[in-house]
Structure 1
Amino acid sequence: MSSFVEFLLAAIIDRLPRSSEDWQPGDLAVCLGIEGGMKDAIEPAQGDVLRVSRICMGGLFLHFEGKPDTRHWLAAFFRKVKPDTEPAADEEWVEQLQRFRRKVPA
């Protein structure tokens, strides 16, 4: 009987959507919306930004800081937040920003 349950579980897991991101602990993830799930106060809502604490099943599921360690979510429901490393394209805008620096007494 247990081999049937293991087969059934493997078939279900095989059909779950996969994430194309290369998740690492410490990554920031933005929630794209959760389909199904428990719909409780713990579940991330669309637009929530969370820090990944652990990855399991080869990147299929993510655990998040501040959430119970017993809960995980499909990585496919999240997108990695990547820092903007491109230099500013508008020099005038950068100059204006630099003028807004808080002046501190010398």
Structure 2
Amino acid sequence: MVGAIDESLELSEAVLKEILDLYKDIRELSDEEILSCSSDRPEKLFMKLDSLITRDLESDLVFILLNKQELKPIFAHLNLFRNLYTVRLETGYAKEILASQSP
């Protein structure tokens, strides 16, 4: 039992560190950079976020992290980044369709 608790705490701390590290990198980007930056940095951050979001975690751990009040602004910022990057992707696909021979 103690081993499971220790493992859960370690996983919780590791996931929290991942969230905070990703937030630190994302908050450095302006909305304009997310939407139209020519570097691959936004894409790499989006892939890291996507990987984190789709990770299979215990529901208790997810519940604890999602209900931490101090993380709510961080999750809001991560959500904004995800939404803006999705707009970027959809805009790029729309431009490709419009530029094709038969849109």
TM over 0.5: no
Name the TM-score, length of structure 1 as normaliser.
0.25
Name the TM-score, length of structure 2 as normaliser.
0.25
Query: Which has the larger share of strand?
Result: 1
Query: Which has the larger share of helix?
Result: 2
Larger radius of gyration: 1
Larger RCO of the pair (alpha carbons < 8 Å, separation 6+)? 2
